[in-house]
Chain A
Amino acid sequence: DAGVIQSPRHEVTEMGQEVTLRCKPISGHNSLFWYRQTMMRGLELLIYFNNNVPIDDSGMPEDRFSAKMPNASFSTLKIQPSEPRDSAVYFCASTALANTGELFFGEGSRLTVL
C-alpha cells in the first residue's frame, strides 16, 4: 500500500522565493498533520486538519506560512516569502484512528533556503 507521499523530496531556493510543499495522505485517513524538524527545535507540529478542516494552526510560525487542504487526498504547505531560517525537513503525516498517536509519516521534504 502507498504510504504518505510528499513532494518535492528536496528543494533548494533563494531567500524571498515562494515554496510549496505537497502531501498526499493515505487513502481513507481523515486527519492530516504538518510537522517541521530542525536540529535546534526538534519535531514541531505546525498545523493539523480533520476532515479537510484546519483544527489547530497555533504551531504555524508566522503569516509567511499557510496550509490548505482542498480535498481529502491533497494538502499544501506554502511559505512566502521564504527565509534561511525556514530551512528544515517538513513532514506530513496522516491517520484514520481517533484517540491514538499512531501517525503515518511521509519521508519528508528537505528545504534549504539560501
Chain B
Amino acid sequence: GESVGLHLPTLSVQEGDNSIINCAYSNSASDYFIWYKQESGKGPQFIIDIRSNMDKRQGQRVTVLLNKTVKHLSLQIAATQPGDSAVYFCAENINTGFQKLVFGTGTRLLVSP
C-alpha cells in the first residue's frame, strides 16, 4: 500500500504580512544553526545562519532568533512576497564539524497575493 509521508506544517499568509516559521531542534550540544529555503523542483538554498553564542541575527528581510533554553529557532520574514512561497528547513550542526548538518522536516510557506 501507499506509505504515509511526512505531513508538512503549512503557514499561509497574505502578501505584505510578516511570517514567522518555527523550529524545535533536538540536540542541546548543537552549536550552529541554519535556515534553508526549497522551492518546488529545486535544491535547498541557504538563507541565514546563527551560532549558539548569539540569540539574534538579521539579514535582508529575514531575522533568525535562537532560544537555547527551550531549543527553539525561528525565522522571521518581513513583508512576505509571493516569491517567498517555498518549504523552509532548519538545520543544526550537532557539534561534529559543520558538515554534519541534520535537517528538520520543513514548513511550507504559502503566500497569497
Q: Mark A71-107, 1 if CB is under 8 A from B, else 0.
A: 0000000000000000000010100001111111111
Q: CB-CB < 8 A to B45: which residues of A?
A: 105
Cβ contacts under 8 Å, B5 to chain A? 38-40
Q: Identify which of A44, A48, A100 contacts B49 (C-beta below 8 A).
A: A100
Q: Across the two chains, which residue of chain A brings its CB closest to B5?
A: A39
Does A12 sit within 8 A of B, measured CB to CB?
no
In the complex, how many angstroms separate the beta carbon of B41 from the nearest chain A beta carbon? 7
**Which residue in A56, A100, A102 is a CB contact (below 8 Å) of B100?**
A56
Residues of B within 8 A of A48 (CB): 99
Tally of chain B residues near chain A (CB < 8 A): 26
A42 near B99 with CB under 8 A, answer no
Contact with A along B32-76 (1 / 0, CB 8 A): 111000000111111001000000000000000000000000000
The verdict on A45 contacting chain B, using a C-beta distance below 8 Å, is yes
Q: Is the CB of B101 within 8 A of A100?
A: no
The answer to whether A42 and B104 touch across the interface, beta carbons within 8 angstroms, is yes
In the assembled complex, the CB of B87 is this many whole angstroms from the nearest CB of chain A, namely: 10
Per the bound structure, the CA–CA distance linking A106 and B33 in Å amounts to 21
B32 close to A101 (CB less than 8 A): yes
CA distance A44 to B104 in the complex (A): 10
Residues of B within 8 A of A99 (CB): 98
B42, A107: Cβ atoms under 8 Å?
yes
Q: Supply 9 further A-B pairs (C-beta < 8 A) apart from A101-B91, A103-B101, A107-B41.
A: A40-B5, A43-B103, A45-B100, A55-B99, A99-B98, A101-B46, A102-B46, A103-B44, A103-B46
